[in-house]
Structure 1
Amino acid sequence: MIRVQKVRLYPNQTMKKVLDDLCDYRRYCWNKGLALWNDMYDSYLVLNDEKLKPTMNKVRNEMTVDKEDWQYLLSSRCLYQAIEDLGKAWDNFFNKSMKDWGKPKFKSKKDARQGFKTDRAKIVDGKLRLDKPYGTKDWYDIKFKGAKSLDGELKVISIYCENGKYWASLPFEVEIDKKDKTGKKTAVDVNVGHFDYTDGQINTLPNHLNKLYERINFYQRQLARKRIVNGKNATKSNNYVKTRAKLQRDYRKVANIQYDIVHKFTTKLVNDYDKIVIEDLDVKKMQMTHVASKGLQRSLFGLFRKVLTYKVNWYGKELIIADRYYPSTQRCSNCGNVKTGEDKVGLYGNQKHKTKHNEYICYECGFEVDRDKNAVKNLLDLIC
């Protein structure tokens, strides 16, 4: 299995310059490769000649032949990895079932995050060593902090800069022991702000996040006001850069808190249960309703499913995905009656019967229960 560890890098001034140059070089290779790929693809469509159809090797070979002198001072692996990722992006373009399907786009130097990839990095004496270009004299290993264990074979690493800080994702190929069987099963009903399962509820939007979100809103208003007053020159001012750094810092704090909640909860699930049922939600379509789009975005539905899926595969447990149209909310877990029409339970309860959001009342058998507990019981019935 591949396990990834995110670490904070502490490069000296020389290596900071190297990392910044490699980030710029990655963006240059991507944009030039994409422009070349677009030209080849247009020629292929116009002339209908299979020989003109662009491939990763064609684009990479042409870019390698046309290298400028300054490119030899930078790692060639950065170019190869950029074109390899571009090839994968083009393959995804022809698969409409992919998430965020679309044609590859050009990278901007204004993006908050800039990064690159390399498959020649090593960990030597507890430090990260990048591949040294031929003829370079000043080269140093990079200190890092945040890794718990560094066992296994190191794969292609990603290094990126955000808000003046440098980070690295270190993927290791490791052997993982399967968890012991417990004979227990559970279901998880995901909601805005909390996850419900058979043993209780997990709050994904704890109260101490409110202060951070208030600060985020404040900094966003400040940046918007500066852009209105100063126009395009706003981003060049020192105050704008400082405010944006504070905004990114608070966003990172929020992400770290919520990621910690999701990882602890998913680890608890795979430790305690053998079979887990979750819903197949169309989160993207739900966010387009604008009713609770911000809450849906902050509740990390997609991250929860992604993390739970790979942990289940790691530890030999079973994940059952309920059908997208399974009426877990509308079905009565006592008698099996499914609400339809005006009896349906909506985001704000039921207007006809004046019920609240968290109430479920079956008008066939008179069964009353919390709405989320009812959904968990219905999902649990899918386990044979």
Structure 2
Amino acid sequence: MGKAWNNFFDKAQPGWGKPKFRSKREARQGFKSDQSKIKDGILYLERAKESSVPKDQWRGFKLSEKPLSDEFGVVSYFKEKGRYYVAIPYKIKAEDIKLPDKTGKATAVDVNVGHFDYTGGRMNVLPKKLDKIYGKIQRQLAKKQVKNGEAACESENYLKTKAKLQACYRKASNIQNDLMQKFTTELVNNYDKIVIENLSVKGMLMSHVASKGVHRSMFGKFKQFLTYKCDWYGKELILANKLYPSTQRCAACGNVKKGDDKITLYGNKKHGTKHNEYVCYNEKCPNYNKVVDRDKNAMLSLLALTEHPELNHAL
């Protein structure tokens, strides 16, 4: 605690935040250790001198995969959603990282609730089956609360149903994390330039309309994963201006919708178009009066920034 406060008041370390109280009731419990060792694929936690377990009976944890390096940093041990995890930061030399070949290709990713669109197609972020399953369990919990009030939260059936819901959340989170890692790796392997929107995730989470969808679609993690992978593999990541009108801009002619012509979450009342439709009303446009997929049009508008960086500003 003393070290944390010293770091906080040290002007030479402006990145240190104010120490926070760690409650025993927090969902995630854990600690860090710089004395852990790996031997023959087994991770050993340091044994305390006052431990009642004899040295010859001290056991470690078998790793699920081969260690990436003999050198590693501070190991984090934590419990989350009823399971125990270990995070090991390996120290790998830059020359040991195999860089993907240059492809000369560029792509853009338009992030949406539930799916991401890019030049290679569409990637579904949240499996529909899991979404339906924990949607059903949530309704069961809500019904029990309405019927039995506060007493429902203490019933055995309620706790069992709640445990099922937590298991579904954990499963969905693991699947999504795996999908996101593979998708971002695919992007840096196949493209040299990648354009994404520099979205204000915190601001979007404050909206009651799409906050749950934004959280489940992992907008923040996608940007985080892609940023460090582009840095590792020497690829160019282009962040579109937060106010760049990718949704309102026509990818074919560059015309930007304004006023009553704008597309909203509910479509466009003036022209009677749906929220997922884009129609350009510029008579000189090759797509004049044609119905185009809104997400695909937004993705192509972002892609234009690779050749025309001067467009990357608010209009």
TM-score with structure 1 length normalisation? 0.69
Q: Report SS of the residue matched to 1:173.
A: coil
Cα deviations by residue, 1:147-197 (Å, 9 ceiling, x for unpaired):
354324111111112344211111111231211101111000001111001
Q: Give me the whole-angstrom Cα distance separating, in 2, the residues matched to 1:159 and 1:92.
A: 22
* Letter paired with 2:98: D
Mark the runs of 5 or more structure 1 residues left unpaired by the alignment.
1-28, 38-53, 60-86, 94-102
- The match for 1:4 is none
Are positions 1:322 and 2:227 aligned together?
no
In 1, distance between residues paired with 2:140 and 2:34? Answer: 38
Question: Which residue of the partner structure matches residue 112 of structure 2?
Answer: 191
Q: 1:144 to 1:226 in 2, by over 3 A?
A: farther
Q: Distance in 2 between matches of 1:288 and 1:261?
A: 26
What's the RMSD between the two structures over aligned residues? 3.0
Q: Judge conservation of contact 1:155–1:171 (CA < 8 Å) in 2.
A: yes
Q: Which residue identity is paired with 1:106?
A: F
Equivalent residue, structure 1, for 2:310? none
Distance 2:89 2:141 in 1: 34
1:118 is the counterpart of 2:33: yes
Which range moves more in the overlay, 151-160 or 104-113?
A: 104-113
Amino acid of the structure 1 residue aligned with 2:44: R
Counterparts in 2 of 1:200-349, with a 5 A limit? 200-218=121-139, 220-221=141-142, 228-230=149-151, 242-349=160-267
Under a length normalisation based on structure 2, what TM-score does the superposition of the two structures give? 0.83
Report if the CA contact (8 A) 2:71-2:91 is conserved.
Answer: yes
Counterpart code for 2:171: K
What is the distance in 1 between the residues matched to 2:46 and 2:140? 39
For residues 1-384 of structure 1, the aligned pairs below 5 Å read 55-56=6-7, 91-93=15-17, 104-138=19-53, 140-174=58-92, 175-218=96-139, 220-221=141-142, 228-230=149-151, 242-365=160-283, 366=288, 368=290, 369-384=292-307
Structure 2 distance, partners of 1:203, 1:58, is 45
Worse-matched range after superposition: 135-144 or 199-208: 135-144
For the structure 1 residues 159 and 343, does the alpha-carbon distance in structure 2 shift closer, same or farther, using more than 3 Å as the test? Answer: same
Structure having the larger proportion of residues in helix: 1
Identity of aligned residues (%): 52
Structure-2 separation of matches of 1:230 and 1:341: 52
Gaps of 5+ in 2: 308-315
Give the Å deviation of 1:220: 4.7
Evaluate the alpha carbon distance shift between residue 288 and residue 123 of structure 1 in structure 2; reply closer, same or farther with a 3 A threshold. same
What letter matches 1:107 in structure 2? R
